Every structure is written in C-alpha cells, then in structure tokens.
Structure 1
Amino acid sequence: MKDVLLGARFLGRGLAWCAARPKQWLFGLIPALVSMILFTGLLVLLAYRADDVAGWLTPFADDWSKGARESLRLLTGVLLFGVGAFLSVLLFTAVTLLIGQPFYEALAVRVEESEGGAPPDPGTSLWLQIVRAIRDGIVLAAIALVFAVVFFALGFIPVVGQTVVPVVAACVSGFFLCGELTSIALDRRGLVRKERFALLRAHRASTVGFGALTVVIFLIPLGAVLFMPVAVAGATLYSRHLSPYPAKRLLPPDAPAPS
C-alpha cells in the first residue's frame, strides 16, 4: 500500500504544479477538448445502440421468458458500456497525446525545467514521433481489446463481476495508462516502448497507484479533459523519479522519491 500511495502522490504533485501555473494548465486543455468531443460522441452512440448490440450478442436468449431475456440483455448492455468506458480511458489518452504531441511535449519540458532541467531533445522528427505514437497506440488498442473481452466475460460472474472485476480492470488500465502518460518524458530519455514498460513493471506498485487514481478521475464527467494536463505533469515528475535527470543512477524499485 505504501508503494501504491507513492505513485498516487505524483498525481498530486502534478496537480500542485498546474495549480501554480494556470496558463500551462489551460495550454494543455486544448487537445483534450478535441478528444472529448470525439469520444463523447462514440459513447453516446454506444449507449443508444446498446440494446441492439446486446440482442445481437445473446441470440440464444430469444426463446427465454421475457423477464429472463430482458434481465440478461440489460446486464449485457451495462457491461458493454463498461467495456466502452474502459477502452475510452486508454484510447482517449493515446488519441489526445497524438493530437497534442507538440502541446504536451512543451508542457513536459517545462515541468522538467522547473525541477532542474530537461534531457536534451533527441532530435527525432515530428513525423517519426507521430508514426511511433500511432504504432504504439495500435499495440495498446490490441492489448486493451483483449483485456476488455476478458473483463466483459468475467462481468457475468455474480457478485465477483460487479465488485472484484471493476477493481482489477482499474488497476490493469491504470498500468497501461501510466505507460502512455510517461511516454513523452521517457521517450526523451531514449527509451522505446518495450524499455518503458520494463521500467514500469520494475515499479509496478507505484505505477498502478499513479495510473489507477488517474483512471478513476478520468471516469468522472469532464475529469479526463480537466485533468489531462495534470496527468501529463504528474507523469513527467514520476518519470524523473524512475529515471532521474541528470542521470546519476536508476532508483531501486519503488524507492522513496528524493526530497
């Protein structure tokens, strides 16, 4: 629990950083607003069509009694929307970071400079950064889809599906969400996707602590938009904890952040 709280603390530090610099917070809202319009539309469409999709997924229930059939399809519809929300949290961040690459790159650099200096620009072209972001987003989407299907199936288990599964889903999505948010700062340190996630796995507890809290906030209406700059700032500070700059030594897993 101590290590989980350590990770969550970095989101609080990101909030404090943005609160002290409201112009930077407003600067980071622009890409998030664009993504919000896109994903809100998709979720509204999913909610509107959930009954039809639930019926298509459960043709075996056509001959059931009306009460049993409607109960099953209501549960299926609710689970479908939950899966949509799960995917939206992850894909919202990926799409927002892609749209706002120049915005969040500049924001991350300002965070690092306020803490003692940012690593030098690796010299990667914007086009290559976009290609990498799209590629990493596709990989993440495929992984997220697999987990979404698993959580969707487990959601039908009585009690467990409505209690344990959402918690596990928040932890899993939080880990990958942290991977997305730290990509800007860790890319600047020369770490590719596999190296980034290897580093996060070595600090799994604090990574989940940071990511799961971010997931919960992102699920609050407008939370993803208002907290996106905060999440980027916090993830940048967390990246400095994982891979300090100027580089001296890599901190051992979940070691306390330097004061």
Structure 2
Amino acid sequence: MKVAIVTGASSGIGRSAAIEIAKRGNGVVLTYGNNRQGGLETAAAIERQGGTAVALPLDVGESASFADFRDTVTDVLRDTWHRDTFDYLVNNAGFSHTSLIEDTTEETFDRLVRVLLKGPYFLTQKLLPLMTDGGAVVNTSSNSTASAGLEPGYSAYASMKGGLDVLTRYMAKEFSTRGIRVNAVAPGATRTRIGDDAFTRFPEVVPALAARTALGRVGEPEDIGAVIATLLSDESRWVTAQNIEVSGGYNL
C-alpha cells in the first residue's frame, strides 16, 4: 500500500483530496490546524470506506515544528503501515486574506509568507528524506495568479501562490533525479470554508461567480480533490512541472 501525506485536510479541498486518495487504495496521513474535530472527521470518513488514515496536528506557519512532525510521521508510518517511507505529499494547508495593497499590514503579509510559501518549502525539505523514489508531490496554488481577470485585494495572497508556482517547477527539476514528479493545481472559486466561511456568509456572491464560469457553477471541493488524486497516481506518470487550473473555465 502506498501512503500519502495531505496537509490541511480538516475541510474543503484537503479533506476531499484525502478521501479521493484513500479511495484509490492508499493510506493517508492527514493534518489539521485549529480544526481538530474536522481532521478526525476526515480520518473517520476514510475509515468508513475501508481505508486507513491517521490525523496529526500541524501548523504549516511554524517551520520550527517540522522536525518534530517528521519524527511523528516516522513513528506513524512504522506503527500503522510497517514501513519507514511514504510516497505522496500534498501541500494544501493555507488560508486566504483579502485587502488592498494600501491596507495590507506587514503582520498579515508575513503570515501569508509563512503559511503559503515558506511552509511548503521547508516542510517538503524536511519530509523529502522519507519519500520514496518515484513518488509525487502536488502543491495547491490558485487561479488568482492569472495574468488577466484579477480581483483587487488578492495582491499578497496571489504573490505567495505565484511564488509557489515557481517553487513547483524547481522542485520538479531538482527531485527528478529521484523520479519524483511535482505538479500544482490552481483552483478557481470553490465552495470551501476559506476566507472565514465566505461562501456561507455571503451566498449572494455565488451567482456572480457562476456567471463568470464557463461551466456555469462554482467549484466543489470534490472537483479539485479528484484532480489532485489523479496527479499523484500512476495515470499521471508522464506529467511533471505543470500547474493545472481546475476552475470550470473561470473568466474564459
């Protein structure tokens, strides 16, 4: 059995990705931040479908904790799957914040850096010795990095995701010597809890977003999770260094 690590899997795209990966016969180590109950619910959902999952706490904005997390993962791999390596990594954990450039604080900017760019960089670095040759990484980016159709307020968030896009290509280049593929997915508007449950709090935005989407609706987490699981699988064995927009044709 192959094993995947999925960060930020207590809800939304991370939860969907973890469940889809498990459906394909893989074990899953999933992480949660503040939402411990959500992480446990994701693990329970996987186990109800006959899979195996372990939920662990992780703050991807605290890189000083990554060495301890790696040690915990080592123990979990040995105890649960009787192995000392894993195969797939999904760098998904994150948060969204919108503010105009003139209103953005350095504190907000620095937290976005830590969670969206520094976190995936150094977490991958720490976990890489445990990853098998021929494995795969998927980074969750965003279509806010597009060169057209920009929405005011995403300057800091999109800048970090743009950095992640570049990092994805460099990871693909450097890890290719071990046969490890690295890709990114760029979701469009997706019905998740991001932005403090913005879709629940502001349901009136949904029709406008759907109207700008070629396929006529906003995305669901399952739309993105299925692509992530496919990119990890052997079906995508000849795909690396790609950033695949999964948006239903937003702004097409």
Greater percentage in strand: 2
TM (norm. structure 2) is: 0.31
Q: If you compute each CA radius of gyration, which structure gives the higher value, 1 or 2? A: 1
